[in-house]
Chains A and B, each alone.
Chain A
Amino acid sequence: MLRIVNLVLMLLTLVAVFALYTIKYDARQREARVQMQERDLEKLENYVAVLVAERAHLARPKALEPLARGLGLGPIAPRQYLRLEAAPAADPGR
């Protein structure tokens, strides 16, 4: 009887050891995956930072001003302002 109990216990231990190993292996794999994703995320964040910096560089006033001037734009001149009452009335039919 005792031998059977021992055998069963041993079997259970083996199963437990195997289960533990599997869980640990799985945890390690997940950990590695998390680390990889974190690295990817960091890389993406850095790409985003570079893109944001590049966008700011492309939209710098020194680069935009000649383009705007080329389109005939410029600072608002004082005579471009109108009083509201001096503005032509809106045509409700349109």
Chain B
Amino acid sequence: MRVLNASADRTRHALRRDAVAASLRPIRRRTLLTLAVLFACFVAVAVQLLRLGLRAEADLHLNLAEPIGQSWSRPDIVDRHGQLLATDVASHSLYADPQLVLDLDEVVEKVTGVLSSLDHAEVRRALADRSRRFAWIARGLTPRQAQLIHDLGLPGLAFRTELKRVYPLGLLAGHVLGTVNVDNKGLTGLERWLDEMGKVEAVQGPDRSEKPPLRLSLDVGVQHALGEELDDAVRRYSATGAAGLVLDLTCGEILAAASLPGADPARPADWLDLRYADKLMAGSFELGSVFKTLTVAMALETGLADLDTLYDVRRPLTIGAHTITDLHPSARPLSVRDIFLHSSNVGAGLIALEIGADRQRQFLGSLGLLEPLRTEAGLSATPQLPKHWGRIETVTISYGHGLAVAPLQLAAAMAAAITGAAVSPTFLAGEVRPEAKPLLAPATSARIREIWRLNVTSPVGTGRKADAEGYRVGGKTGTAEMPGRGGYQAKAVISSFIGAFPMDRPNYLTLVMLFEPEPVAGLAPGITAGLNAAPTTARIVHRIAPVLGVLPRLIGRSEPQQGPFDALSAAQ
């Protein structure tokens, strides 16, 4: 019985095993199928790899990365009242994929037909290199040009949209704004300063900058008036160039700065021509008698003289082999005041000799005239100092020869002379600036203001024609012979007038320079600054004073004039 039971158990076990084996069979089959599919996939991958590896010529090309269209987005530049001076707009740039160009000659011919400024040979060279996949043809196209090129339907040509700097006001304040290159990167002026300050961002497309606009100290109205009046003066006096500046004496902000011939920020190539160089910053000039202001300030500050101290100017001043003379020698000794009013070179020389070379150098250095001046628009031209600062140099520098400085630098020194404190010119508006460092005693700057005004109101003053009715202008003229081959040229001068208004409490400094002016037919003969730069200053002040909110004060007129006012004839 036990044997039978054992045999039945074995049979049951065998049956169960068979049943389990039967149930596992489909699973095993499916597993095998899955494995087979996976294996087939791997085999397919391996075969494809082998095929790619064994092919003699691969379809794939390794292209070296070429920098494609990286440009810079720049914040807008606006004037002190928010008027737009420079902005970025999206523009079309044309590029080519030389590999896709079918007919080289046709493309070159048609493209240069539409874009006539392109160089035929250059386009051909760019397209002939078929190893490249990208070559710029022309950048910053107008929408019309882009449409014309697009209409040609040439394969291999395509457009990218990128940023282009535009200057809506044209040449206005061009020298201050500066230029950018084709990638929108700043090259000169404030555009360069934006780059240096990290205010620009690298972009691949037309992504405009989200940074706040750069607010300049310039006032478009004042800048325009200055430019127009200088332009008029260039025509009126047949000058070869001109420069002018309006500076706010309370904070050093430059309200207008112009140099003629003007430079177009949108045409950087023009800037290589020296004629368009910025005369205020990029050039250094001997500016003549305007320096006598500093000579008198020096005498007053050192206590060597006051305005009534007399100097014998009757005879020419002889230093070694050099003789200094006056245009109209005086028959009597002159006080410091009269030396200034008559613009006596001999008198200024005598004062300077008394001061001495060392103190003169130290004084001019303290006004920042011996080092280049840095503003946001760049570094000014390096001053040209005499190699040896001896007695003759001391004398010539006293009346503005022998030391060449950038006019903007001289304007800053003059601002210090009449305010008594250091003035650092800036092109930015509303910057928090440290309190101005006092440079001169208040009495000295008060005396300078007095003689500046006297030089315009006195019948013997050289700046009489600078008197803009009601606006209390004061200042000093300077007529400097320009250095030429074989010495100074008597007929080629830089005539300048540096002044301020209203003189009872000067708020604004003006500088006017005319290069090589000529006598005007029908007016007093001569090319001295009193005949050209001074009246130009008066015209400028008449135009800008109302814009700047300076009220005129008319002596001897308490009642308004009757009758309708004719603005046109008054303006003329």
Given A49-B87, A62-B170 in contact, is the A76-B206 Cβ separation under 8 Å?
no
Where chain A touches its partner, the secondary structure class is helix
Closest Cβ neighbor of B161 among chain A residues: A46
B83 within 8 A of A: yes
**B89 touching A53, Cβ below 8 Å:** yes
Render B84-113 as a binary contact track against A, CB cut-off 8 A, 1 for contact.
Answer: 110111100000000000000000000000
Contact yes or no, B168 A72, CB < 8 A: no
B84 touches A53 (CB 8 A): yes
Q: Contact: A73 with B567, CB < 8 Å?
A: yes
In whole angstroms, how far apart are the Cα atoms of A86 and B206 in the complex?
Answer: 59
Query: B89 to A42, Cβ gap below 8 A?
Result: no
Contacts of A77 in B (CB 8 A): 542, 565, 567, 570-571
Residues in B neighbouring A54, C-beta threshold 8 A: 168
The answer to whether A40 has its CB under 8 Å from any CB of chain B is no
> Does A57 count as interface, using CB distance less than 8 angstroms?
yes
Task: Judge whether A80 is part of the interface by a CB distance below 8 angstroms.
Answer: yes
B270 within 8 A of A: no
Given contacts A52-B84, A61-B224, contact A78 B552 (CB under 8 A): yes
Which residue of chain B has the shortest Cβ distance to A82 in the bound complex? Answer: B560
Chain A minimum-CB-distance residue to B557: A79
Q: Which residues of the other chain, B, contact A83 by a CB distance below 8 angstroms? A: 558
Question: Closest CB-CB distance, B471 to chain A, in whole Å?
Answer: 7
Residues of chain A within 8 A (CB-CB) of B565 are 77, 79-80
A70→B168 CA distance, assembly (Å)? 23
* Binary contact track A39-76/B, C-beta < 8 Å → 1, others 0: 00010011001101110110111100100010011111
Q: Which residues of chain A have C-beta atoms less than 8 A from B542's C-beta?
A: 75, 77-78
The interface size of chain B toward A, counting residues with CB under 8 Å, comes to: 42
Interface flag for B432 (CB, 8 Å): no
Residues of B contacting A61 in the complex (Cβ-Cβ under 8 angstroms): 169, 172, 220-221, 224
Assembly CA distance A65 to B223 (angstroms): 13
Q: Which residue of B lies closest to A72 (CB)?
A: B568
Is B561 part of the binding interface, using a Cβ–Cβ cutoff of 8 Å? Answer: yes
Interface residues on A, range: 20 to 34
In the complex, residue of chain B having the shortest beta-carbon distance to the beta carbon of A61: B224
User: In the complex where A42-B206, A46-B206, A53-B166 touch, is A76 in contact with B224 (Cβ < 8 A)?
Assistant: no
Considering the complex, give the chain B residue whose CB is closest to the CB of A76.
Answer: B546
User: Which residue of B85, B87, B224 contacts A65 across the interface (Cβ within 8 Å)?
Assistant: B224
Query: Does B559 interact with chain A (Cβ within 8 Å)?
Result: yes
Q: Is A69 touching B571 in the complex (CB atoms < 8 A)? A: yes
B568 contacts A75, C-beta separation under 8 Å: no
A75–B571 CA distance with the chains assembled, in angstroms: 6
Contact assessment for A79 and B554 in the assembled complex, using a CB-CB cutoff below 8 Å: yes
| Residue B551 CB within 8 A of the other chain | yes
Kindly list chain A residues whose C-beta atoms are within 8 Å of the C-beta of B85.
56
The 8 nearest A-B residue pairs measured at CB: A74-B571, A78-B552, A61-B224, A56-B168, A78-B470, A56-B84, A57-B168, A46-B90
Residues of A at under 8 Å CB distance from B?
42, 45-46, 49-50, 52-54, 56-57, 59-62, 65, 69, 72-83, 86
Given contact pairs A56-B168, A75-B547, A80-B570, enumerate 15 new A-B contacts (beta carbons under 8 Å).
Answer: A46-B89, A49-B87, A50-B90, A53-B84, A60-B168, A60-B172, A61-B169, A61-B224, A74-B572, A75-B225, A75-B543, A77-B542, A77-B567, A80-B565, A81-B552
| Contacts A/B (CB < 8 Å), 12 sampled | A42-B207, A49-B88, A49-B89, A50-B90, A52-B84, A53-B84, A54-B168, A69-B571, A76-B546, A78-B554, A79-B554, A86-B559
